[in-house]
Amino acid sequence: MESDASATPRALATEAVHAGREDLAGLGLHAVPIDLSTTYPSYDSRREAARIDEFAVTGARPDGPPVYARLDNPTTARFETALARLEGTGSAVAFASGMAALTAVLLARASQGLRHVVAVRPLYGCSDHLLTAGLLGTEVTWTDPAGVADAIRPGTGLVMVETPANPTLAEIDIRALAHSCGSVPLLVDSTFATPVLQRPAEHGARIVLHSATKYLGGHGDVMAGVVACDEEFARTLRRIRFATGGVLHPLAGYLLLRGLSTLSVRMKAAAAGAADLAGRLAADPRVARVHYPKLGGAMVAFEVHGDPHQVIAGVRLITPAVSLGSVDSLIQHPASISHRIVAEEDRRSVGVSEQLLRLSVGLEDVDDLWRDLDGALSNHSVRSARKGVHAEDASGRVSPQAVR
């Protein structure tokens, strides 16, 4: 859905609760209506045929009812409008998952004969796998941000990065990278930042991708993906979504819109807790290294001296589970779970070590979270002491100032 470019710009917190809902009062409604229709009646088949032709050729959202739910859905379209407004792009297109969103982007470029992708590690494990395995007929060149310009060649359709990256939280200067990309579109997976902390399109990224399963939904109960981009690319994505079927269910669209309403306050509160915990972890002798983005955010990664599996086994309040961005805190071991599918040497080359743990900080009281982590780290240090690693060994200690 196109956003209203003529409107006076409003602050993100305001857009988060109003964008995509401006017509509700006029409809006599307060809550967003959920349209569960899979099909839409029409007694005028000629007109319907013209509407189908129009969509097939242009990919523009149909005027009036959608014909069939795979073309469009009014509830999901409200979420798309709101997300585009938050990201500062002309449009956004929602999908059934983050991976469905990335798939549609890759297919869109490949359908234009642009099958080569330049990408920077680390990426989320399955995104890495999709590119490395060439499952969609694409070919990838892995490089670092400095090597992007040289890696681009005729047939390059996309440059892809994550910043902050999953799981190491490494950060990339989006503006500098966009410059290196020249005319090749830069895709930034901004899942970890959300538009509250970073709006990649303002820095030259042409495509912004979110696993909306994470912070946008925010409660661990919606699986979704979304691509924020200009309307021209959105039209291609809608045609691909229609043909390949990776649509978002309208209930999910509703929940995402509701999630957006509190995105700003959730991110700020969770990020305050994460910064606090990053400092405490950095000052702890049982922890070898802490990664926390300069940008801020609610993710913390840390390397322990001993057995990270014992930390996972030791948490009681924090949930040991993959995924992130929920109101409750989650911890996982990337080398075993989120990045398992990436070859070991590729993981290691970008710092996804066996010692690394990834913590998604939620909205719990930070002292309660610390007590849980402290207990889990003691669990870990007791067992690693038995293996000959001293819990009190502070040689790898990182001062809070060195937290990054």
Please, which residues have CB within 8 angstroms of residue 105's CB and are 6 or more apart in sequence?
A: 158, 187, 207, 209, 227, 237
Cα 299 to Cα 273: distance, rounded to the nearest angstrom = 10
Q: Which is nearer to ligand PLP, 145 or 285 (CB)?
A: 145
CB-wise, 227 or 318, nearer to ligand PLP? 227
Q: CA Rg, the chain, in Å?
A: 22
Cα of first residue to Cα of last residue in the chain, in angstroms, is: 38
Least distance between ligand PLP and beta carbon 96 (Å): 8
Distance between CA atoms of residues 303 and 286, nearest Å: 9
Q: Which of 127/355 has CB closer to ligand PLP? A: 127
- Indicate if 268 belongs to the active site: no
Nearer to ligand PLP, 166 or 194 (CB): 166
Peptide bond before 250: cis, by omega within 30 degrees of 0? no
- Nearer to ligand PLP (CB atom), residue 97 or residue 156: 97
Task: Tell me how many degrees the CA angle 219-92-323 measures, rounded to the nearest 5.
Answer: 30
Supply the minimum distance, in Å, between the C-beta of residue 342 and ligand PLP.
Answer: 13
Active site residue 124: yes
Quote the least distance from Cβ 24 to ligand PLP, whole Å. 28
Instruction: Give contact residues for ligand PLP (rule: CB under 6 A).
Output: 97-99, 124, 126-127, 162, 166, 189, 191, 211, 213, 223, 225
State the DSSP code for 387.
T
Residue 47: active-site member? no
Q: Which two tokens stand for residue 106?
A: 């890759």
Q: Does 189 qualify as catalytic in the annotation?
A: yes
Q: Which residue is nearest to ligand PLP (CB)?
A: 98
What is the amino acid identity at position 183? Answer: S
From the candidates 35, 72, 128, 189, give the one annotated as an active-site residue: 189
Q: Which ranges of 11-156 does DSSP label H, i.e. alpha helix? A: 12-18, 45-58, 74-87, 98-110, 125-132, 148-151
- When the beta carbons of 92 and 377 are compared against ligand PLP, the nearer one is 92
Distance CA 398, CA 109 (A): 44
Closest separation in Å from C-beta 17 to ligand PLP: 24
Which of 21, 40, 68, 70 is the catalytic position? 70
Question: Whats the size of the chain, residue-wise?
Answer: 404
Contacts with 338 (C-beta within 8 Å, 6 or more apart), sequence order: 124, 125, 166, 167, 322, 332, 358
* Minimum CB distance to ligand PLP, residue 202 (Å): 20
Q: Cβ 397 to ligand PLP, closest distance in Å?
A: 30
Instruction: Give the catalytic positions in this structure.
Output: 70, 124, 189, 214
